[in-house]
Amino acid sequence: MKMAGKILVLMALLIMTSSLKAQKEYRFYDYRLMGLRAGFSWATIDLQPAQSDVVGDFSYSGGMVFVFSQKKYVGVQIEALFTSRKWKETFDTYQAQTELSFVEIPLLTNINLGTGKMKYIINLGTYFAMRFDKKLTTNMPSSYEAYEALTSREERNSDFGLLIGGALRYFSSVGVFQLDARFAYGYQKMYSEDATGFRFSNMPTANVGIIYMINLKKDVQ
């Protein structure tokens, strides 16, 4: 009888220890994070049939980030960003640079790996973007044969596509830091084929950013 009692006490202690350990580990998955993201992008555009030599260029991105997680391996990350996408074109001896500015809403599913304060994240999702500005600079004279076709292009006002990437997220005593890299491919053709002759005008973009967030859920250690 005494032996059975000791076994029951030992089993209870083991269950309590396991429960506390699991709760401590789970608390690093159950969180609400909000913060800021800043980064840079490399973008280009696939203009087919080709009318010039197109080269991608670097630009910036930045904005707000919100992360929601209640599951051990899955979370949601939504952002509101200002982004810029640039590319350069060469026509014989003349050059042109186009810069499009967007308000972009990425929606990502975080696949969380890791059991401590460091998380290894796989990001899969989509984005929607609204264009609000355009800048076109060129040294091409107005008498050149491609000038009118270049300056009369009208981009669509929106873009959407798929996102894939990865991140490192670290929970520290002063906040949550995240290093994020992603690739996006736009399914929207930026130019009308009837107006420009481009059958394809989709935009791929690569982006690297740093995110700083605070935890809105106060009971997370």
Is 181 a member of any domain? yes
Q: Please report, as a single letter, which amino acid is at residue 36.
A: L
Is 134 a member of any domain? yes
Cα–Cα distance, 155 to 100 (Å, whole number): 9
Q: What is the DSSP letter of 191?
A: S
Kindly provide the b/e burial profile for residues 66-86, where b requires at least 16 CB atoms within 10 angstroms of the residue's own CB.
Answer: ebbbeeeeebebebebebbbb
Cα–Cα distance, 185 to 149 (Å, whole number): 25
Is 5 a member of any domain? no
Is 220 a member of any domain? no
Q: Phi, psi (5° rounding) for residue 92?
A: 55, -110
Is 122 a member of any domain? yes
CATH number for the domain that contains residue 50: 2.40.160.20
Q: Give the residue numbers spanning the domain of 82.
A: 31-215
Q: Which long-range contacts (CB under 8 A, 24 or more apart) does 88-91 make?
A: 88/54, 88/55, 88/56, 88/57, 89/52, 89/53, 89/54, 89/55, 89/150, 90/52, 90/53, 90/55, 91/51, 91/52, 91/140, 91/144, 91/146, 91/150
Is 145 a member of any domain? yes
Alpha carbon distances (Å) from 59 to 38, 181, 209, 218: 11, 15, 12, 36
Is 196 a member of any domain? yes
- Token couple for 124: 């899969």
pLDDT of residue 147: 93
pLDDT by residue for the chain (221 residues), tens only, comes to 555 555 555 555 554 554 445 445 545 678 899 999 999 999 999 999 988 999 999 999 999 999 998 888 899 999 999 999 999 999 989 999 999 999 999 999 999 988 788 899 999 999 999 999 999 999 999 999 999 999 999 999 999 999 999 999 999 889 999 999 999 999 999 999 999 999 999 999 999 999 999 998 765 44
Cα–Cα distance, 146 to 109 (Å, whole number): 44
Alpha carbon distances (Å) from 33 to 67, 213, 216, 221: 5, 6, 6, 13
Query: What is the DSSP pairing of strand 204-215 with strand 118-138?
Result: unpaired
pLDDT of residue 48: 93
Q: Phi, psi (5° rounding) for residue 50?
A: -70, 135
pLDDT of residue 2: 52
Number of domains into which the chain is organized: 1
Q: Please report, as a single letter, which amino acid is at residue 210.
A: I
Is 4 a member of any domain? no
Can you tell me whether residue 132 is helix, strand or coil? strand
